[in-house]
Structure 1
Amino acid sequence: MKAKYEKLRRIVQKELSCSAHAMEHIERVFTLCLHLAEYESNVDLDVLKTAALLHDLARVKEFRDKTGTIDHATLGAEMAARILKDLRHSDEKISRVKHCITTHRFRGNSKPQTIEAKILFDADKLDVLGAVGVARSFMMAGQYGQKIYSDISLKNYLANNVLGQKTDGRIIDISKHAPNLEFQLKFSRILSSMYTERAKEMAKERFRFMNSFFRRLEAELSVKA
């Protein structure tokens, strides 16, 4: 079984190149999944581990897509299914892993129904909160040439750089994004979306740190000469 997971890791490594979604993120989510699973009952750990390793398989393809039509959760689930079929997984196992991957996205329309899918969703969201979340958001900012802070109003930003002008819409030009905007658009709404009780506890503490950080950043940048 361990050899299977190592093979999956090698497959994923070849697909990922975005620093904030590289193998370090995958491994953190993998570990968080195992931690959250300890607080739940009747968890299929093989399904959970497999889905955790493969959940961002199509992330780079989405980043590189100029049409805005690729959803990494949907495409990633299909890619994962092909990989697992080649590895001779059962159709039932593949279906359960696909469900986890399809529903892990915060801005997605599909909601997790199984305990494994709920755990993966929660673990993935925990990794964008707290000190790790701050670090990841600035890694992304550096990669795409973003400002460290944008003082544009959320209303104007939605009107000019988000498809559909909705908080869960897709960002049009990632270079015009900023860590504080991501906090307002996504991070601040994550608390109410968590499924497992343990994840809710962890999310509250991580959110408090993150909220304090961005308030401090805004205060330091508002100093006038």
Structure 2
Amino acid sequence: MDNLKMEAIKKYTQSIMEKDQTGHGMDHINRVVRLANKIAESENCNRFIVIAAAYLHDTVDDKIVSKPEQAYQQLREFLQTIDLSIKEIDQIFHIIKNLSFSQELAGTAEELTIEGQIVQDADRLDAMGAIGVTRTIYYGGHKGNKIYDPKIKPRLLRSKTEYREESTVINHFYEKIILLNGKLNTEHAKEIGIKRQKFLEEFLNEFLEEWN
């Protein structure tokens, strides 16, 4: 792996994510990188593409940046300056354009390579478990969402537009987070997911018991 190029990619990500207040900051990025690196040990994959995409996956997200298309162009220009090949850039872009839950809902997500599946698993695992619970509540507070309202029922989301509509924090767990465990790709991620899913389910049960 080219350490100089990877260090440049990390610094590029830091320049965009260091002031994030949505739960997608560098602490999240670094956990996704570590998880992706660990999962990659069990798979036949291009480790450089995995780690590069893990660092960059949120730098163009419309939850984070106000002008995603401009962010994509800026990213492409940056990757060219550090001498990544057209093939490498296209591989990274394919991953970050197709790994999100909202892309699945929109019906526009293309099938991911094994490198993309690894990054997607790492990103989804960080939305589960204790840290995932904390991040979901943190993001809901950032958006000004209610914690819970028993009169507002969880939805079965069918589109990206519905996904972007505001709901309660607890509903978000049922509408997205609790579903992620069944969408993991790799065996290693599925092993990690078992414990995190159990914690998530216990948290939700305890929350509703205390609320009632």
TM-score computed with the length of structure 1 as normaliser: 0.81
Q: Deviations over 1:157-187 (max 9, x none)?
A: x7xxxxxx636533234xxx33211111111
Task: Please give the per-residue CA displacement for 1:130-169, whole angstroms capped at 9, x wherever unaligned.
Answer: 01100101111222222222321125xx7xxxxxx63653
In structure 1, the partner of 2:36 is 33
Q: How far 1:89 sits from its partner (Å)?
A: 0.7
Question: What aligned pairs does 1:88-103 form with structure 2 within 5 A after superposition?
Answer: 88-103=83-98
CA RMSD of aligned residues (A): 2.2
Partner of 1:170: 163
Aligned residues of 1:119 and 1:196 also touching (Cα < 8 A): yes
Query: How many Å apart are 1:2 and its aligned residue?
Result: 2.5
Unaligned runs of 5+ in 2: none
Counterpart residue type for residue 52 of structure 2: T
Mapped to 1, the partners of 2:191 and 2:70 lie a distance apart of: 31
Residues in 2 aligned to 1:200 and 1:87: alpha-carbon distance in whole angstroms: 35
214 and 199 in structure 1: CA distance in 2 versus 1, 3 angstrom threshold: same
Mapped partners of 1:22, 1:11: distance in 2:
13
Asked if 2 retains the 8 angstrom alpha-carbon contact of 1:76 and 1:102, the reply is: no
TM-score when scaled to structure 2?
Answer: 0.86
- Counterpart of 2:153 in structure 1 is 153
How far did 1:18 drift? Answer: 2.9
Aligned length: 203
Structure 1 position 21 matched with structure 2 position 11? no
CA apart distance, 1:83: 1.7
Bigger drift between 185-194 and 22-31 goes to 185-194
Aligned residue in 1 for 2:199: 209
Percentage identity across paired residues of the two chains: 28
Q: Which residue of 2 aligns with 1:181?
A: 171
Cα gap change, 1:77/1:97 in structure 2, threshold over 3 Å: closer, same or farther?
farther
1:148 and 1:179 in contact (8 A); partners too: yes
Paired with 2:174 and 2:211, the residues of 1 have a C-alpha distance of: 17
State how far apart, in whole Å, the 2-side matches of 1:106 and 1:212 are.
23
SS in 2 for 1:110: coil
Distance in 2 separating the partners of 1:77 and 1:120: 18
Alpha-carbon distance, 1:76 to partner: 5.7
Superposed CA offset, 1:50-80 (max 9, x none): 1111000023x44565xxxx7x6x7765543
Contact 2:99 2:112 in 1 (8 A): no
- Aligned residue number for residue 162 of structure 1: none
The residue number in structure 2 matching 1:143 is 142
Structure 2 Cα separation of the partners of residues 75 and 150 of structure 1: 38
* C-alpha distance in 1 between matches for 2:99 and 2:14: 19
* Structure 1 CA distance for aligned equivalents of residues 74 and 176 of structure 2: 26
2:5 corresponds to? 4
Q: Once the two structures are superposed, what CA deviation does each residue of 1:27-51 show, in whole Å capped at 9, x if it has no partner? A: 000000001011112x111111111
The one of the two structures with greater contact order (alpha-carbon pairs below 8 A, sep at least 6) is 2
Greater Cα shift, 182-191 or 141-150: 141-150
CA contact (8 A) 1:15 1:58 kept: no
1:77–1:101 contact (8 Å) kept in structure 2: no
